[in-house]
Amino acid sequence: MTNNLLKRVTEHRSNFVDGFTKRHGIHTLVYFEQTDDVTSALNREKQIKKWNRKWKLRLIEENNPHWRDLFDEII
pLDDT tens digits, residue range 31-57?
A: 999 999 999 999 999 999 999 999 999
What is the pTM assigned to this prediction?
A: 0.87
7, 53, 75 from 57: Cα distances, Å:
24, 6, 25
Burial class (CB in 10 A: 0-12, 13-18, 19+), 13: middle
Question: How confident is the model at residue 57, as a pLDDT?
Answer: 98
Residue extents of the structural domains in the chain: 5-74
pLDDT for position 75: 86
User: Helices marked H in 1-75 — which ranges?
Assistant: 5-13, 20-24, 38-50, 53-63, 71-74
pLDDT of residue 17 exceeding 90, the answer is no
Task: Kindly state the percentage of the chain with pLDDT values over 70.
Answer: 100
Q: Are 20 and 26 in contact (CB under 8 A)?
A: yes
